[in-house]
Chains A and B, each alone.
Chain A
C-alpha cells in the first residue's frame, strides 16, 4: 500500500511556464513533507520542505503548498528552466525526528526550451 503517491509519472512544460507537481498521501499522521530532485545516476538533493503547521513555503522559484484536509501537496516551479528537468520525489514523515522518510514514486519533469 503506497502511503505517498505521485500519480503523474511524467510531466512536460515549456521553458518559462509554471511546473506543478502533485503529491497525495494517505497517512494522516504525516506532518512533515519534503521534495527532492534527482538527476540520473546521482543521489537525490533536498529541494524544499513544509511542516503541517503551514500551508505554504516558498524558496526562490520553488513553492510548496500543503492542503492537509485533502492530504495533498504540490510543488510549483516558476519560471521553469531546462535545468529543472529531473525526477522529483515527494516524501513524508511523522514528526521532525530522524525516523525514516517515505518516498513517492517520483515524477519525471521535462522542461522544453
Chain B
C-alpha cells in the first residue's frame, strides 16, 4: 500500500523558534498533500491543502505566515511552524492522495510538537 512518512516523529522546541516538519510519500507520487492538526480528544482539523509546484490553500483561520507550507516535489511537502508558541503544541499529521484511489488519503504517522 501507499506509505507516507513524517519526520521528526516528535520535537520539543523553545518558544520563538521555528520548526520544520517533513512529509514524504515513499512509494508513490503525491500530487496533493494535506496538513492536519489534532488537539487532544478532538477531530482532525484540516490546515491546508498543498499541490506540487503551487501555493498551498489554507483553511479559514489558519495563519499562512505562521504555518509555511512548501510542496517542492511530488514526494515531499514541508510544514514550518514559525515563531512557535506554547499554544502551537499539538499533533500535526500529513496525508497524501495517489490520484488513483478516489478520496482515500494515506496518512503519515504524525509529529508531536511541544513548545516550551
Contact = CB atoms under 8 A, between A and B. Distances in A.
Interface of A: 9, 32, 34, 36, 41-46, 49, 89, 93, 96-101, 103-106
Given A44-B44, A44-B93, A101 B107 contact: no
Contacts of A93: 103
B49 interface: yes
B86 interface: no
A7 B49 CA distance: 27
Given A89-B43, A98-B32, A42 B103 contact: no
B104 A49 contact: yes
B43 A98 contact: no
A105 B67 CA distance: 23
B109 A101 contact: no
Given A89-B44, A104-B43, A43 B109 contact: yes
A40 to B, nearest CB: 9
A43 B108 contact: yes
A96 to B, nearest CB: 5
16 contacts: A34-B103, A34-B104, A41-B91, A41-B110, A42-B109, A43-B4, A43-B94, A43-B110, A44-B107, A46-B106, A89-B44, A96-B103, A97-B103, A100-B34, A100-B49, A105-B43
A97 B51 CA distance: 14
Interface of B: 4, 6, 31-32, 34, 41-44, 46, 49, 91, 93-95, 97, 99, 102-110, 112
Chain A at the B interface: SS class: loop
Contacts of B107: 36, 43-45
A106 B103 contact: no
Given A43-B94, A43-B108, A46-B106, 9 more contacts: A9-B41, A34-B103, A42-B109, A49-B103, A96-B103, A98-B31, A98-B97, A98-B103, A103-B44
B32 to A, nearest CB: 5
